[in-house]
A and B are shown apart, each in its own frame.
Chain A
Amino acid sequence: MFTCKDSIDQLLEFLDGEISADDEEHLHEHLSGCPPCVSFLKTYRATPNLARRALGETMPEDFARSLTAFLRERCKKK
């Protein structure tokens, strides 16, 4: 019988589609009787997308201008 810990340990492989058939069956069985783990799975699955959006920056304009100037200077020298 899978515990919450066993289930959470398997989440990455489950979401990557790399979990064994046996483990997947145990995981589904656990999830069907454990609402906290269902919430945990949903929030774990949503995390990379939220993180990607939160960590995306726009390069500050002065850096962008320096980048253009740097590349024009250095690429010309080739």
Chain B
Amino acid sequence: MESGDPTAAEDRNLLEKAQAGDMAGFEALVERHRDHVYSLALRMTRSEADAAEVTQETFLSAYQHLAEFRGEAAFGSWVHRIAANHSLMRLRHSRVVKNAEEEIKGQPEFNERGSLAEYPESDWSRRADERVLDSELRRAIQQASDGLPESYRQVFLLKDLDDLSYEEIAEITGDSVPAIKSRLHRARLALRDAIDRFYNDG
């Protein structure tokens, strides 16, 4: 499955040490995955302090369940799932009233014939491969993500940042796969629109 992936091979090596009680092995795993966990938690909770706590809870939980981890999936995927659960738990605790289905902005507009009313003036798709990402573009994308209604933001982050499958997201959020796909699509449209505005209006 991932036998050819040096990152996964190193993770397995460290995992074996950690499972044998070697704390240094576990700490090395934490160091390799903490930025990812922190990034997900930060964009989910939109709070640095909450993200730091979610990261702590995630790795503590991983440590406590280390013996149960059989290594069928990659360690990274397993930790990403734990991080997703803890991020969502944090959001649920902090939310006083669950919002009704909120409106999502940044959707394409069509004329009466169903044709695109506006379309990209420049095709910026190849810029996605550029080595260094413009700091203003980073900020525009972060703002667009933070501005998504919560149910859309969750799905978008779990899929596109955490790389979970639709089924895993359904398990964590309790939503149906079709509902998840619909929200993901609309969230990607909103992000695409924000990036498009950066390149075409900037």
Q: With A12-B188, A55-B161 in contact, is A71–B116 under 8 Å at CB?
A: no
- Please report the C-alpha to C-alpha distance between residue A35 and residue B108 in the assembled complex, in whole angstroms: 16
Is A57 part of the binding interface, using a Cβ–Cβ cutoff of 8 Å?
yes
Size band of the interface chain A makes with B = 35 or more
Binds A, one of B2-10, B69-77, B89-97, B191-199: B191-199
Given A8, A37, A50, A68, which contacts B141 in the complex, CB threshold below 8 Å?
A50
Given B26, B39, B52, B142, which contacts A66 in the complex, CB threshold below 8 Å?
B52
Question: How many residues of B are counted as interface, with CB atoms below 8 angstroms from the partner's CB atoms?
Answer: 53
Overall SS of chain B's interface: helix
Q: When the two chains form their complex, are residues B63 and A40 in contact, meaning their CB atoms are under 8 A apart? A: no
Q: When the two chains form their complex, are residues A51 and B125 in contact, meaning their CB atoms are under 8 A apart? A: no
B 28-42 contacts with A by CB, 8 A: 30, 34-36, 38-39, 42
Please name 8 pairs of A and B residues whose Cβ atoms are closer than 8 Å in the assembled complex, sorted by A: A4-B116, A39-B119, A43-B120, A43-B124, A44-B189, A45-B125, A59-B55, A67-B59
